[in-house]
Structure 1
Amino acid sequence: MNQNLTYAIVHEWLTPKATGGSELVVKEILKYIDADLYALIDFESTNPESYLFGRSIGKTFLQNFPGARNGVQKYLPFLPLAIEQLDLRNYDIILSSSHTVAKGVITTPQQLHICYCHATMRFAWDLTFDYLANSFMGQGIQGMMTRYLLHRLRQWDVLAANRVDYFIANSQHTASRIWRYYRRKAEVIYPPVDIDRFSYQTNKEDYYLIVSRLVSYKKVSLIIQAFNQLGLPLIVIGTGPELTKMRQLAQPNVQVLGFQPDEVVEKYMAGAKAFLYAAYEDFGIAPVEAQACGTPVIAFGAGGTSETVRDIRQHPDDGTGILFAEQSVPAIIEAVKTFLAYEGKFNPEVARSQAAKFSSDIFKQRYLGYVDRCYSRKQRSTGAQKN
Structure 2
Amino acid sequence: MTSTAAESVELVEHAPAVSLPLAGAAGRALAAADIVDAVPDPYTPGRWSLRAGSKVGAVAVSVPGADTPVTVRVTPKVPIARLFFLLGYSLDPQGGWRDGEVEVAEHRDLLPALAHTVERQVDRALRQGLLQGYRATEESALVVRGRIREAEQIRRRFGMTLPVEVAYDEFTMDIAENRILRTAVERLLRLPGVPSDVRRRLLHQRSRLADVTAIVRGRPLPAWQPTRLNSRYHHALHLARVVLDGSSAEHAPGGLRIDGFLFDMNKLFEDFVTVALGEALRGTDHTSRMQDPHHLDEAAAIRMKPDFVLYGPDGTPCAVVDAKYKAEKRGGFPDADLYQMLAYCTALGLCEGHLVYAKGNAPHAAHQVRHAGIVIHQHALDLDQEPPGLLTAVRTLAQRLVNTPRV
TM-score (structure 1 length as normaliser) = 0.31
Structure whose residues are more often strand by fraction: 2
Structure whose residues are more often helix by fraction: 1
Please tell me whether Structure 1 or Structure 2 has the larger radius of gyration of its CA atoms: 2
TM-score (structure 2 length as normaliser) = 0.29
